[in-house]
A and B are shown apart, each in its own frame.
Chain A
Amino acid sequence: MGAIEAPDLSYAALAPLLFVFGAACVGVLVEAFTPRSVRHPVQVTIALVGTIGAFVATLLLAGTEEVTAAGALAVDGPALFLQGTIAILGALSVLLFSERALDPARSAFVAAAAVPAGSVRDRELATSERVQTEVYPLATFAIGGMMLFTAANDLLLMFVALEVLSLPLYLLSGLARRRRLLSQEAAVKYFLLGAFASAFFLYGLALVYGATGSVRLSDVRVAVVTEGGSALMVIGLGLLVVGLMFKASVAPFHSWTPDVYQGAPTAVTAFMAAATKVAAFGAVLRLLYVAFGTADWTWRPLVYALAIASMVVGAVLGLTQTDVKRMLAYSSIAHAGFLLTGVIGLGPDGTGYGLAATMFYLVTYGLTTLGAFGLLTLVRDGDGEATHLSQWAGLAQRSPLVAALMSFFLLALAGIPLTSGFTGKFAVFRAAIEAGAWPLVVTALVASAIAAFFYLRVVVLMYFSDPAPDGPTVGVPGLPTTIVLAVTAAATLVLGVLPGAVLELAESAAVFVG
C-alpha cells in the first residue's frame, strides 16, 4: 500500500471558504473564552469580517478556473459568483441577526434554548436582556457550508457541505425568543424531514458511485458518456435530485417550507429563504450540468415536472394564506419553480443562457426576499412580530415608508418591470424559450399572474384599508436593519433598471470547469 499523498490545496482559490470557516471557528472560541458582556459586538464583528472578507476574496478571484483539493473543489465562475452572492446575503443576514433596537428584550433569539418553553425559568429569561451569541458562529458555519456546496466538484464533498449547511439551520430555526413552541416545532420538522432528504441524497450518491465508479462529477460525466445511463445511475440521480430539491424547497418537497419559515425567527427565515436557495440551486446546477449535462434526457423530464408542480403549488396555495410569512414561503416555492425554468434552459454542449439566467435570478431573488423578510421584523405588536395579514391593513397610514418599501419588494417578487424581479424572470424565461420549453414558460407566466395576485393583495391591504384600531406598531429599526433594507431596496431597483453589469458578470461567469 502506497503512502497517501496529501491533497494539493490552492489556498488562494480557497480564500473565500477559509475566511468564512475561519470566522466560524474563531467565533466558537470567542464563545468559550470571552466574557458575556463583550461577546455580542465581538461576534458580530467576526461574522461580518468573515462574510465580507469572503465576498472581497471572490471578487479578487474573479476569472479563476481551477480544480483543487484533489479534484474535490471546483473554483470556477459559477462557484465564485454564487459564493459571492451567498457571502453578501450572509453578511446582510448577520446584520439582521444583530438587530437589537426592535424588541424590548433586545434580541430576536432566545437566551437559553434548552430551557423548556413556558417554564418559570423561561419566563425569567424572556424579559432579561441576556442575548444569545452562539447564533453567529452557527450562521457562519451555515454560510461556509453553503459556499462549499456551490463549489463541490465531488458528490461526497457535496454531501458534507449539505450537512454543514443544514445542521446549523436546524438549530437556528428553533431559537426564536417569542412563540418558542412554534419555533421548536419548526426546527424538529425541518430536522426530521431534512434527515430523510439527506438520507436520500446519500443513497443516491451510493448508487451513482456504484453505477459510474466515481463520485467526482467529471468522472461521472465521462462514465455517463462511455457507458450510457444505466438504471442504477438514473435511480441514483433521482434520489440525489430529491435531496437537493428538498433544500431548494421545490414542490412536492416543499411541505416543510411554510411551517419552518413561519416558526423560525424572521431573521433566520430571511437567511434561509435567500441564502439556502442560492446554495441549493448552485449545487443543482453543478450536478445536472457538469455530471449529467451530456445525458440531459435523464433529468430534463423530471426537472420539467418539478418546475411546473412548484410554480403551480406555490402560486395557488399562496392565495389562501393569511400569514405574511407563510405567504412569502409559498412565494419562495413558486420562485423555486421559476428558477427551475432557468435550469431547463441548458442548450446542447453547455451553451444556452440557462446558467447565467438562473444565477442572475438567484441574486435578484435573494436580495429582494431578504429585504421583504427584514421589513417583517419591523411590524410588531405586544406579542412580537405581527405577521397576520389583517394586522397589515392600512399600514400605509401608520408608516408610509415601510408600506412603500414593502410594496416595492412585493412588486419585485411579482416581477413587475423596473424591478429586479422582472429582469430575473425575463432572463430565465428567455433561457427556457431558447431551449424550446414553450409550455413551461406559458405555465410560468400563468403562475406569475396568480402569484402577482397575492402580492398585490398585500399592497392593496396596506394602502386601501382602514388600519385596525389596536393594530401593530412599526418599530424604528436600528442601524443594522436600516443598512439591510437600504442595500436590498437599492439592489432591487438597480438590478431592475440597469442590470447590465451584473447580467454580463453572470454571463461571463457561466462556465463550469471540472
Chain B
Amino acid sequence: MGLLLLLHLLAAVGAPLLVRWWGRQAFLALALVPAAAFGWVLTRLGTVVGGGEVRETLSWIPALDLQIALRLDALALTFAALVTGVGALVLVYCARYFEPDEEGVGRFAAVMTAFAGSMLGLVLADDVLVLYVFWELTTVFSFLLIGGSGAKLAGRRAASQALLLTTAGGLAMLVGLLMISGVSDSRLLSEIVADPGSGPVMVAGTMLVLAGAVTKSAMVPFHFWLPAAMEAPTPVSAYLHAAAMVKAGIYLVARLAPGLADVPGWRPVVLGLGVATMLIGGWRSLRQNDLKLLLAFSTVSQLGFLITMVGAGSQELAAAGLAMTIAHALSKSTLFLSVGVIDHATGVRDLRLLSGLGRRMPVLAVIATLAAASLVGLPPFLGFVGKEAAFTALWDGGLPDRVSAVVVLVGLVLGSVFTAAYCARYLWGAFARKPGLPDSAPEELEHHPGPLFLAAPAVLALAGLAAGPASPLLDHLVVVYAETLPLIAPEAEHLALWHGLQPALALSAVTLLGGAALFALRSQFTRLQHRLAVGASADEGYWNTLQSLDRLAVLVTGTTQRGSLPTYLGTILVVVLLVPGTVLLARTPWPDQWRAWDSPLQALVGAIVLIAAVLTVRIKQRLSAVLALGITGYGLALLFVLHGAPDLALTQFLVETLSLVVFVLVLRKLPKDIGARHRPAERTVRAAIAVCVGLVMAGAGAAALGARTATPVSVAIPELALEEGHGQNVVNVILVDIRAWDTLGELSVLVVAATGVASLVFLRRRTGAVDRASEEEASGGGDARRAPKAQWLSASGTLAPQRRSVVLEVATRFLFHTIVVFSLFLLFSGHNDPGGGFAGGLVAGLALVLRYLAGGRYELGEAAPVAPGLLLGGGLVFAGGTGVVALLLGGAVLESAYLEADLPVLGHASLPTALFFDIGVYLIVVGLILDILRSLGAEQDRQEDEEDPIDAAPDEVIVR
C-alpha cells in the first residue's frame, strides 16, 4: 500500500514533465497510476470479503513513535475503490477537457495526481496522525485545484474559503483524535473503534472529530464553501466535490461509528445536521439556474443523506449508507462530467440559455439521464437499492429511539422528493427544448465531444446501472463492514433489487411522484421560494466574521505595536508588577520593625530628592530637567554625609558635577524643549506604572535587606583594610587593593568608553590634533573694541568678545592651579583620608572644565596640551605596571607593599605601592574628562565655527 502511495507521489512529481513532453495525452499515462491502485484494491477483494484485512506498518520516526500504519478492510476497500476508480476515469476525461495548448496543465496534472494519492492515503490510514496528515494534504491540494491559476478573484476567494474552513475543521479533528486516542490508549483507529474510552474527554473529543467531518463534508452550517468551490474546473468538481474529498467526512463518520455512535451527543449531531443539510441543500438546489451550482447544492443535500445513514450506528442503515455512497459517487461524478461536456461544447452553463441540446448530443443526454435516474432512485439502479434499504431500515426502527427514526424517515423522504425534483430540473434544463428559447440555443456548438471525452461519464453511468442488479454481490462486501455495528431493527435486510411489495417501495413511489409534482409546478414553487427567501446566509456570516477578525487584529496591532518605546517598556513593567509584584505583596516576610530616620535631616534631604525627582519629569526644558536630576544626586551625596561616609559623598558630588557638565555639553546640540506630545491620560497611566515599579523595587530591596541572615561583609572590611592595605579610607583600599583586579577591569572599560566617545565625534581623524592658539586665531574676530583689555587667560582672546566673561576669566586664573594642587593632595592623601585617585582625577578634570568654559576650545588646548590618548594609555600602564612589578618582585599580581620612612621636612611618611595604582586611576580619569571635553566640547565648537557639513540639518542645532 505504501508502494501505491509512493507511486502517486512519483507520478505527481513527474507530471509536469510528462505534460511538457506529451501535452494533454499525458493524463492518459497518469490515469494508469490510480488505475493500477484500483486493480490492486480489487485483487484484495477476496481477502476482505472473507473477513480478513491487509495491514502494513512502515516505521517513520521511531524516536517520536511515528509510524505509517495502513489498513485495508471492507470500509477502506469500498472507499479506496471509489477513489482510485473515479480518479482514473476523471484523469482520462482531463485528457480531452483541456485544450491542447492550454497553460498551467502541467501544474494541474501534478496536483490532481497528488490529490488522488493523498485521498487514497486518507482512506487507508489506520494511525490517527497519518489520517490527519493525509486529511490536511487533501485540503491543501484542493485549495490549489480550486484556486487554479489564481487569475480569477472568485476562484481565489473560494479557494481560501474552502481552505480556511476545512483546515480549521481538520485541526479540531486533530485535537479530537488526540483526545480520543489519549482516552482510548491507542493511536490506531482499529483499536480505538474496538475499545473506545469513555468520560467527558471522550465526548469532547468526539464532538471535535465530528466538527472536522462536518466541515469537510460541507454540512450545515458550513455547507457554503462547496457551491463557492464550483469555480474550479469541472474535473475537479467531479472528483473532489462529488466522489472523493467531500466523502472524507462520510468516511470518517463511517469509520468511527462502530465505536463512537453510542457516545452521548453523537446521534443528535450527526442525524440532526444530516437531515437539515439534506433539506436545505435540496431546497437551495431547486433555486439554481447554473447547472453546476444546481449539482453542488444537490451534493450538499446528498451528503446530508449519506452522513445520516452511516452515522446512525446501526447495521442496517450503515449497509444502506455504504451502498448509497457508491451510488452517489458514480452518478454525481457522471453528472458533473456531463456539465463539463456541455460547458466545453457550448460555453454556457446557465439552464435558461440552453435549449434543444439533447437532440444534438444524444449520447450525452442518455448518459446524464442514466446517472440522474440512479440518483433519484429509479429501479433498477444502485441508487434505488440503497434508498430502498435505507427506508426499510428506518421503517423497521433502525435507530435506538423510535420517534427519531420516524422524524429522520420523514426528513429523508422529503429530501428525496427534492432530489427527484432537481434531477428532473437538471435534465430538463440541460437537454430539453424550452419554450421562449430558439429550438437550439446556443446556435453553434464550439466542440463536438469525442468518444474519449464521453468515455469516463459513460463508464460511470453504466457502472451505476450495472451495480443495481448486481447488488447482492456488493452485499457481500458491505455486510463485512456493517456487521461491526449492532443490529437495532429486528432483522437486517440484505441489499437486493427486489424485496417484494413493502412499505419502502411505497415511500420510493411517493418520492418519485412528489418530485414529479414539484417539477411540474416549478414556476409556482419558484415564486414560493422567493417569498420565503431569508436575508441572511451562512456565506455572508462567514465573510463578516473574517472581516471583523481582520479589523480586530488591526486594532490590536495599532494599539500595542506603535513603535513607541514607552509603550513597549510599559508592557514589560506591567508584567513585572503583575508577577513578581504580586508575589511580593502576597508572600513577603517583611522586616519586623521599621525605622523612619536616624536624624530628621535625613527626612528633609529625602523630601528634597523626591521633589527634585518629580520636577525632573514635569519640567519641559531639557537643561532644567537635567539640573533637577542633578539635585537628586546631590541629595544622595548628602545622605552619605549624614551617614558618616565623607569619602563616598565626595565621589558622588564630583561624579554628579561632571555628569552635569557632560549633559550640558550634549544638550547644546538638542532642541531646547522636551517634546510634549502625550495626552494627560497617557501621562497619568505612565506615572502610575512608574511609581508602582519604583515601589515594588524598593519593596523588594527592603525585603531583601530584612531577610539578611549572614553577617554583612562591611563588618570585617575596615579591619581588613588596615591590615592588608595599610589604609584607613576603606573605599580607597577596596578600590586599589582588596578589589584591585575589578578596578583594573573597570579602568580598561573606561579607556574604551573614552575612546569610543571620541571616535564617534572625531569622524575623520580618529583622535584629532590638539588645538593650540596661534597668532591669527588670537584676534577672535568681531568687534575687538568691546573685548576685555586685560589678558587673564592665555587663549581667551580667540573667543568672540560677546562670549567672554571677565569675572569667569579672573576666577579661573586664580582657581585653576589651586584646584590642580588640591587634586594632587586628594590623590596622595586618599589612602587614609577622603580622596583617592578617582576623586583626585575628577577634581583635576573639573579644573579643565573650568578652563574650557572660560576660554573656549583653544584655552583647553593651552591648559592640557597633551593628547588624551596619552593620558589614558599612561594611566593604564601605571595601573597595570603596579601589578607586573609586584609579580616581578615575587608577590601576587597587584599585591601591595608598604614603605615607611622618616623624611626630613615632611616628617614621618608612608608610601603604599598601591599609590602607583592610584596614580594610574588618576591619569585615566583626567584623560577621560579631557576626551569628553575635547570631543563633545571643543570639536563641536570647531564644527560649528568651520561650518563643517557633517550636520545633516543645521537648523535643528540651537546656538548657545
Measured CB to CB, the nearest residue on chain A to B574 is A252
**Within the assembled complex, what's the spacing in Å between the Cα atoms of A465 and B175?**
34
- Whether a CB of chain A sits under 8 angstroms from the CB of B697 is yes
- Whether a CB of chain A sits under 8 angstroms from the CB of B554 is yes
Docked-complex contact B556 and A239, CB < 8 angstroms: no
Measured CB to CB, the nearest residue on chain B to A462 is B150
Name the interface residues of B697-742: CB closer than 8 Å to any CB of A: 697, 700, 703-704, 707-708, 710, 720, 724
- Whether a CB of chain B sits under 8 angstroms from the CB of A117 is yes
The number of residue pairs between A and B whose CB atoms lie closer than 8 Å in the complex comes to 163
**Within the assembled complex, what's the spacing in Å between the Cα atoms of A206 and B704?**
9
Docked-complex contact B175 and A503, CB < 8 angstroms: no
Interface window among B221-229, B255-263, B583-591? B583-591
Docked-complex contact A116 and B952, CB < 8 angstroms: yes
The answer to whether A114 and B759 touch (CB under 8 A), given A189-B568, A317-B561, A464-B147, is yes
**Within the assembled complex, what's the spacing in Å between the Cα atoms of A465 and B720?**
78
Docked-complex contact A210 and B64, CB < 8 angstroms: no
Docked-complex contact A433 and B583, CB < 8 angstroms: no
List chain A residues, Cβ under 8 A from B959. none
**Within the assembled complex, what's the spacing in Å between the Cα atoms of A246 and B568?**
11
- Whether a CB of chain B sits under 8 angstroms from the CB of A490 is no
List chain A residues, Cβ under 8 A from B61. 423, 498-500, 503
**Within the assembled complex, what's the spacing in Å between the Cα atoms of A196 and B171?**
39
- Whether a CB of chain A sits under 8 angstroms from the CB of B576 is yes
- Whether a CB of chain A sits under 8 angstroms from the CB of B328 is no
Docked-complex contact A242 and B892, CB < 8 angstroms: no
Docked-complex contact B66 and A426, CB < 8 angstroms: yes
Interface window among B156-164, B288-296, B456-464? B156-164
List chain A residues, Cβ under 8 A from B149. 464
- Whether a CB of chain B sits under 8 angstroms from the CB of A512 is no
List chain A residues, Cβ under 8 A from B529. none
Docked-complex contact A255 and B561, CB < 8 angstroms: yes
CB B760 to nearest CB in A, in angstroms, measures 5
CB A430 to nearest CB in B, in angstroms, measures 6
List chain B residues, Cβ under 8 A from A427. 64
Docked-complex contact B568 and A193, CB < 8 angstroms: yes
| Contact flags A293-307 to B (C-beta < 8 A → 1, else 0) | 000000000100000
List chain B residues, Cβ under 8 A from A197. 572
| Contact flags A471-514 to B (C-beta < 8 A → 1, else 0) | 00000000000000000000000000011100110010000000
Name the interface residues of A270-285: CB closer than 8 Å to any CB of B: none
Measured CB to CB, the nearest residue on chain B to A229 is B587
Name the interface residues of A426-484: CB closer than 8 Å to any CB of B: 426-427, 430, 433, 438, 441-442, 445-446, 448-449, 452-453, 456, 460, 463-465
Docked-complex contact B763 and A210, CB < 8 angstroms: no
Measured CB to CB, the nearest residue on chain A to B567 is A255
**Within the assembled complex, what's the spacing in Å between the Cα atoms of A499 and B60?**
9
Pick the contact of B557 from A120, A256, A320 — CB < 8 Å? Answer: A320
Pick the contact of B950 from A119, A213, A246, A317 — CB < 8 Å? Answer: A119
List chain A residues, Cβ under 8 A from B586. 231
CB B707 to nearest CB in A, in angstroms, measures 6
- Whether a CB of chain A sits under 8 angstroms from the CB of B569 is yes
Docked-complex contact B563 and A259, CB < 8 angstroms: yes
List chain B residues, Cβ under 8 A from A504. 63
Measured CB to CB, the nearest residue on chain B to A429 is B178
Docked-complex contact B150 and A460, CB < 8 angstroms: yes
List chain A residues, Cβ under 8 A from B156. 460, 464
- Whether a CB of chain A sits under 8 angstroms from the CB of B74 is no
Docked-complex contact B703 and A231, CB < 8 angstroms: yes
**Within the assembled complex, what's the spacing in Å between the Cα atoms of A115 and B549?**
45
Measured CB to CB, the nearest residue on chain A to B140 is A416
CB B426 to nearest CB in A, in angstroms, measures 32
Q: Is the interface of B mostly helix, strand, loop or mixed?
A: helix
Measured CB to CB, the nearest residue on chain B to A118 is B952
**Within the assembled complex, what's the spacing in Å between the Cα atoms of A1 and B950?**
57
| Contact flags B135-175 to A (C-beta < 8 A → 1, else 0) | 01100100000010110000010001001100110010011
- Whether a CB of chain B sits under 8 angstroms from the CB of A352 is no
CB A193 to nearest CB in B, in angstroms, measures 6
List chain A residues, Cβ under 8 A from B446. none
Measured CB to CB, the nearest residue on chain A to B759 is A114
- Whether a CB of chain A sits under 8 angstroms from the CB of B550 is yes
- Whether a CB of chain B sits under 8 angstroms from the CB of A97 is no
List chain A residues, Cβ under 8 A from B707. 210-211, 230, 232
**Within the assembled complex, what's the spacing in Å between the Cα atoms of A438 and B140?**
27
**Within the assembled complex, what's the spacing in Å between the Cα atoms of A433 and B949?**
64
**Within the assembled complex, what's the spacing in Å between the Cα atoms of A121 and B707?**
58
Docked-complex contact B952 and A119, CB < 8 angstroms: yes
The answer to whether A256 and B583 touch (CB under 8 A), given A119-B949, A211-B707, is no
- Whether a CB of chain A sits under 8 angstroms from the CB of B791 is no
CB A349 to nearest CB in B, in angstroms, measures 21
List chain B residues, Cβ under 8 A from A114. 759-760, 763
Pick the contact of B704 from A210, A213, A234, A448 — CB < 8 Å? Answer: A210
Measured CB to CB, the nearest residue on chain A to B764 is A121
Pick the contact of A452 from B167, B697, B700, B952 — CB < 8 Å? Answer: B167
The answer to whether A207 and B704 touch (CB under 8 A), given A258-B561, A433-B182, is yes
List chain B residues, Cβ under 8 A from A116. 950-952
Measured CB to CB, the nearest residue on chain A to B156 is A464
**Within the assembled complex, what's the spacing in Å between the Cα atoms of A393 and B703?**
58
Measured CB to CB, the nearest residue on chain B to A298 is B583
Pick the contact of A449 from B140, B168, B549, B569 — CB < 8 Å? Answer: B168
Docked-complex contact B563 and A500, CB < 8 angstroms: no
Docked-complex contact A192 and B703, CB < 8 angstroms: no
**Within the assembled complex, what's the spacing in Å between the Cα atoms of A302 and B579?**
8
Measured CB to CB, the nearest residue on chain B to A326 is B561
Docked-complex contact B171 and A449, CB < 8 angstroms: yes
Measured CB to CB, the nearest residue on chain A to B697 is A203
List chain B residues, Cβ under 8 A from A465. 150
- Whether a CB of chain B sits under 8 angstroms from the CB of A222 is no
- Whether a CB of chain A sits under 8 angstroms from the CB of B47 is no
Most chain B CB within 10 A, of A117, A242, A498, is at: A242
Docked-complex contact A500 and B62, CB < 8 angstroms: yes
Pick the contact of B572 from A117, A206, A255 — CB < 8 Å? Answer: A255
- Whether a CB of chain B sits under 8 angstroms from the CB of A71 is no
- Whether a CB of chain A sits under 8 angstroms from the CB of B787 is no
Docked-complex contact A316 and B171, CB < 8 angstroms: no
List chain B residues, Cβ under 8 A from A213. 710
Docked-complex contact B580 and A445, CB < 8 angstroms: no
The answer to whether A246 and B580 touch (CB under 8 A), given A3-B892, A433-B178, A456-B163, is no
**Within the assembled complex, what's the spacing in Å between the Cα atoms of A453 and B179?**
24
**Within the assembled complex, what's the spacing in Å between the Cα atoms of A127 and B588?**
61
CB A406 to nearest CB in B, in angstroms, measures 16
**Within the assembled complex, what's the spacing in Å between the Cα atoms of A321 and B556?**
12
Taking beta carbons and an 8 Å cutoff, which residues of A are in contact with B? 1, 3, 112, 114-121, 185, 189, 192-193, 196-197, 200, 203, 206-207, 210-211, 213, 230-232, 234-235, 238-239, 242, 246, 252-253, 255-256, 258-259, 302, 316-317, 319-321, 416-417, 423, 426-427, 430, 433, 438, 441-442, 445-446, 448-449, 452-453, 456, 460, 463-465, 498-500, 503-504, 507
Going nearest first, the 10 A-B pairs with the smallest beta carbon separation are A464-B150, A255-B568, A231-B587, A238-B580, A503-B63, A320-B553, A235-B580, A118-B952, A417-B133, A231-B588
**Can you give 15 A-B contacts (C-beta < 8 A)?**
A1-B724, A114-B759, A120-B950, A121-B950, A192-B569, A193-B568, A230-B589, A231-B583, A238-B576, A255-B561, A316-B553, A320-B554, A426-B64, A441-B175, A500-B62
Taking beta carbons and an 8 Å cutoff, which residues of B are in contact with A? 61-64, 66, 129, 133, 136-137, 140, 147, 149-150, 156, 160, 163-164, 167-168, 171, 174-175, 178-179, 182, 549-550, 553-554, 556-557, 560-561, 563, 565, 567-569, 571-572, 574-576, 579-580, 583-584, 586-589, 697, 700, 703-704, 707-708, 710, 720, 724, 759-760, 763, 892, 949-952
19 extra interchain contacts, Cβ-Cβ under 8 A, other than A259-B563, A317-B556, A442-B175?
Answer: A114-B759, A118-B952, A192-B565, A193-B565, A196-B569, A203-B697, A235-B583, A242-B576, A242-B579, A253-B571, A253-B572, A255-B567, A255-B568, A258-B561, A317-B553, A317-B557, A417-B136, A449-B167, A452-B167
